[in-house]
Structure 1
Amino acid sequence: MRPLLLLLLGAHLAYAGTHSLKYFYTAVSGDIDFPEFTAVGLVDEGQFIYFDSNTKEAVPKTEWIRQNEGADYWNTNTQGLIGAHQTFKNNIQVAKERFNQSTGVHTNTVMYGCELDDDGTKRGYELHGYDGEDFLSLDISTLTWTAANDKAMITKVKWDSTGAYAMQEKAYLENTCIEWLQKYVVYGKDTLERKVSPQVFLQQKSSSSQVTCHATGFHPKAVTISWQRNGQEHHEDVDLGELLPNEDGTYQRMSTIRVTPDELKKNQYSCVVEHQGETFTKIVTDDSLPIGIIVGAVAGILVLLAVIGVVVFKLMQKKKGTDFKPVNPSDDVSNDS
Structure 2
Amino acid sequence: IPCFIVLIISLHPIITSLWFWFFIVAATHSLQFFYTGVTPGSSFPEFTAVGQVDGEQGGCYDSNSKKVSLKTNWIWKVWNDLDQWKGIAQHVTTHDVNFRDSLIYLMKLFNQTKGFHILQHTFGCELDDDGSKRGFSLYGYDGEDFLVLDLNTFTYIASVSQSVPIKRQWEEAEYVTYQKHFLLYECIGWLKTFVEYDRSTLKRKVSPEVSVFQKDSSSPVVCHATGFFPKAVMITWQKNGEELNEDVDLRETLPNEDGTFQKRSILTLSPEELKNNNYTCVVHHEELEKMMQVSERRVLSGGSLVGTMVGAVMAFFLLLVMGFVGVFIWKKMSGK
The TM-score range, normalised by the shorter chain, is: 0.7 to 0.9
Structure 2 CA distance for partners of 1:259 and 1:134, relative to 1, 3 Å? closer
2:152 to 133, 141, 165: 141
Partner of 2:276: 266
Secondary structure of 2:119's match? strand
Once residues 272 and 116 of structure 2 are traced to their aligned partners in structure 1, the CA distance between those partners, rounded to angstroms, is 47
Deviation (angstroms), 1:74: 5.6
Secondary structure of 2:114's match? coil
Structure 2 CA distance for partners of 1:269 and 1:139, relative to 1, 3 Å? closer
Partner of 2:99: 88
Deviation (angstroms), 1:79: 5.2
Does 2:189 correspond to 1:179? yes
How many residues in Structure 1 have an aligned counterpart in Structure 2?
A: 298
Partner of 1:257: 267
Partner of 2:23: 14
8 Å Cα contact 1:5/1:305 also seen in 2: no
1:157 to 153, 168, 193: 168
Structure 2 CA distance for partners of 1:91 and 1:233, relative to 1, 3 Å? closer
When the two structures are superposed, what TM-score results if normalisation uses the length of structure 2?
A: 0.78
Once residues 222 and 280 of structure 1 are traced to their aligned partners in structure 2, the CA distance between those partners, rounded to angstroms, is 15
8 Å Cα contact 1:247/1:299 also seen in 2: no
1:284 to 282, 291, 296: 296
8 Å Cα contact 1:4/1:134 also seen in 2: no
Partner of 2:68: 58
Secondary structure of 2:9's match? helix
8 Å Cα contact 2:156/2:167 also seen in 1: yes
Aligned letter for 2:236? S
Per-residue CA deviations over 1:75-99 (Å, capped at 9, x if unaligned) read 6655553332111121111111111
Deviation (angstroms), 1:52: 0.3
Structure 2 CA distance for partners of 1:24 and 1:265, relative to 1, 3 Å? same
Structure 2 CA distance for partners of 1:265 and 1:304, relative to 1, 3 Å? closer
| Match runs of 1:217-228 below 5 Å | 217-228=227-238
8 Å Cα contact 1:30/1:104 also seen in 2: no
Root mean square deviation, CA, Å: 2.9
Report % sequence identity: 44
Aligned letter for 1:6? S
Once residues 300 and 43 of structure 1 are traced to their aligned partners in structure 2, the CA distance between those partners, rounded to angstroms, is 14
Once residues 196 and 326 of structure 2 are traced to their aligned partners in structure 1, the CA distance between those partners, rounded to angstroms, is 24
Does 2:212 correspond to 1:202? yes
Per-residue CA deviations over 1:141-191 (Å, capped at 9, x if unaligned) read 23222222222122222211131x211110111112112112112334222
Aligned letter for 1:180? W
Deviation (angstroms), 1:196: 0.9
Unaligned ranges ≥5, structure 2 = 1-6, 306-324
Partner of 2:309: none
Structure 2 CA distance for partners of 1:190 and 1:304, relative to 1, 3 Å? farther
Partner of 1:101: 112
1:23 to 33, 39, 44: 33
Aligned letter for 1:183? T
Once residues 246 and 105 of structure 2 are traced to their aligned partners in structure 1, the CA distance between those partners, rounded to angstroms, is 47
Once residues 261 and 237 of structure 2 are traced to their aligned partners in structure 1, the CA distance between those partners, rounded to angstroms, is 20
Once residues 98 and 232 of structure 1 are traced to their aligned partners in structure 2, the CA distance between those partners, rounded to angstroms, is 49
Structure 2 CA distance for partners of 1:168 and 1:203, relative to 1, 3 Å? same
Per-residue CA deviations over 1:8-30 (Å, capped at 9, x if unaligned) read 99673624353111111111114
Aligned letter for 1:202? V
Deviation (angstroms), 1:303: 5.6
8 Å Cα contact 2:235/2:282 also seen in 1: yes
When the two structures are superposed, what TM-score results if normalisation uses the length of structure 1?
A: 0.78
Secondary structure of 1:126's match? strand
Per-residue CA deviations over 1:315-334 (Å, capped at 9, x if unaligned) read xxxxxxxxxxxxxxxxxxxx
- Segment of structure 1 superposing worse, 78-87 or 122-131: 78-87
Deviation (angstroms), 1:120: 2.3
Structure 2 CA distance for partners of 1:53 and 1:235, relative to 1, 3 Å? closer
Deviation (angstroms), 1:301: 2.2
Deviation (angstroms), 1:237: 2.8
Once residues 232 and 155 of structure 1 are traced to their aligned partners in structure 2, the CA distance between those partners, rounded to angstroms, is 47
